[in-house]
Amino acid sequence: MQSFFEYIDRLTPALSKEALAAIGEIAARRTVPRRTLLLRAGEICSNFYFIEKGLGRVFYYRNDQEVTAWFGFEGQVISAIDSFFTGFPSEYWIEILEESEVRVVGNQDIEWLFRHYPETERLGRLMITENYLRLDERMKLFAFHTAEQRYQLVLKQFPSILQRVPLHMIASYIGVTQVTLSRIRAEY
């Protein structure tokens, strides 16, 4: 369990009580059942989701096959950034994999927050930076490592992933088919 406010406090410890209270207003807590689709491709994603407990993912279809692009574990953020920041329909799907406790934060509310509490711009900037770096990490996973190394690194990064995520999702996340992942796993 990782509370949204602990997360905020880590990024911007100096935030005023008023700003924090305002964030409390707009960040609705919600319990989401397993296998819920929070977004379908073609829809506009007007929220981001902070995972306080549980697990979700972002995925897309390539030749009728699901490909997982992003996991959101406890303390992490999930959204369809291609839509969230542009207002255009997303090409991504968002799915909750386990019953989860999330904070839902809407586009409009964030704009309102920035306008009324300019100090929160800094929080916004740091949250985006953190996720930008996460995406860069993912690029580097492919840039510098073989499929086998990617598998090992993902296990290290998310120690509970084998217990919580089916292998075909891990396979597509590391950029191979499930058959290839099986071959990798067999080599031990």
Give CA–CA dist 130/11, Å, rounded: 10
Interface with DNA, residue 163, by CB under 7 A: no
Pairing of strands 47-62, 77-78: antiparallel
For a copy of itself, give the closer residue by CB, 43 or 82. Answer: 82
State which of residues 26, 147, 153, 158 lies at the interface with DNA (CB under 7 A): 147
Q: How far is CA 116 from the centre of its chain?
A: 27
Give CA–CA dist 33/142, Å, rounded: 32
* Residue 108 contact partner, candidates a copy of itself, DNA, none, CB within 5 to 8 A by sort of partner: none
Interface with DNA, residue 178, by CB under 7 A: yes
Smallest distance from a copy of itself to CB 29, Å: 25
Interface with DNA, residue 179, by CB under 7 A: yes
Give CA–CA dist 185/22, Å, rounded: 48
Smallest distance from DNA to CB 65, Å: 7
Size of the chain, expressed as the number of residues it contains? 188
Smallest distance from DNA to CB 68, Å: 12
For a copy of itself, give the closer residue by CB, 140 or 183. Answer: 140
Beta-carbon count within 10 A of 181 CB: 22
Interface with a copy of itself, residue 153, by CB under 8 A: no
Residue 91 DSSP label: S
CB distance 186 to 170 below 8 Å: no
For DNA, give the closer residue by CB, 48 or 73. Answer: 73
Which token pair is 18? 């008023």
Interface with DNA, residue 36, by CB under 7 A: no
Site residues for a copy of itself per CB under 8 A? 60, 62, 67, 69, 81-82, 85-86, 91, 114, 118-119, 121-122, 124-125, 128-129, 131-133, 135-140, 143-144
Sites of contact with DNA (CB under 7 A): 63, 65, 146-147, 166-168, 175-183, 185-186
